[in-house]
Chains A and B, each alone.
Chain A
Amino acid sequence: MTIYAIITFHTTHFALKAKKVLEKNGIIFETIPVPREFSSECGFCCKILWEEKDKTEDILRRHSVEFNAVHRWERDEEMEKQKKFRFV
């Protein structure tokens, strides 16, 4: 089980700005579509390890990247990999 923090933004511009800022600051993250459980709206979010949450929030604030919310997201990646799928 891995615990992630999902950082959502008010606009896509901030999400893309966050991507650039976090890249420059050496944070390991992924820009992914906001998972369905957090919003049904189309948008990007940043997925980081939960331990990196405070550091990341700090960097974003320092670079004036406004974010909307930070969600806790638990994922069992091994289980995800074994999830059944079918070809269509």
Chain B
Amino acid sequence: MSIEIDARGLPCPQPVIKTKEAYAKAKGDALVIIVSTVESRDNVARFLKHSGAEIDRIEEKGGEFYIYTKEMQKTGTVDINPEEYVCTPQQAGTGTTVFINKDRIGHGSDELGNNLVRAFIATIKDLSVQPKAICFMNSGVKLTVKGSETLPYLKELEEKGVELLVCGTCLGYFNLKEQLGAGRISNMYDISETMLKSSKVITI
């Protein structure tokens, strides 16, 4: 006979604890443990090996994992330290980064698009929530230079503590390096790292 343990959607270390409970009274039976994350699969498998249970096979069905054990030869209470079975969450990024890669929003009309991007920046500066950084690339850098209508709003954002990273290569390409009015000249390392370390990147 096999006993099914449905541990789908349970956070760590719950799947291991449920497996442990079933294991305690499963003499002669096989177990089928169903989990929905890779971390839970690995944790349950590790627990079973630690307990001396033999894993018959692990099957993946539609993103869920079915762990089949062979019939239990010995069972009983296994002492575990739950802390050993806590999933380490992936290093999560923090904050929002806005990526502006042109001097307008969308396609269709450059005039409208240019007014939209300026309005976008003028609006976010007044919101109660702020992005941690805004990265400018390609013609997006034109928004940050002297004479740009967007510049006063960017300066306000900078004063609030929003980091403005302006692609130096792009400024150089448009021959605007000397005209930078807000933010700091940055490079691909800083910009890509800032994006990867954010919980969310919004591309304009």
Contact = CB atoms under 8 A, between A and B. Distances in A.
B202 to A, nearest CB: 11
Interface residues of A, number: 16
Contacts of A81: 156
B122 interface: yes
Interface string A72-88: 00000000110111111
B130 to A, nearest CB: 5
A44 B156 CA distance: 21
B119 A85 contact: no
Interface string A25-67: 0000011110000000000100000000000000000000000
Contacts of B87: none
Given A12-B112, A85-B160, A33 B119 contact: yes
Interface of A: 12, 16, 19, 30-33, 44, 80-81, 83-88
Interface of B: 95-96, 111-112, 115, 118-119, 122-123, 126-132, 156, 160-162
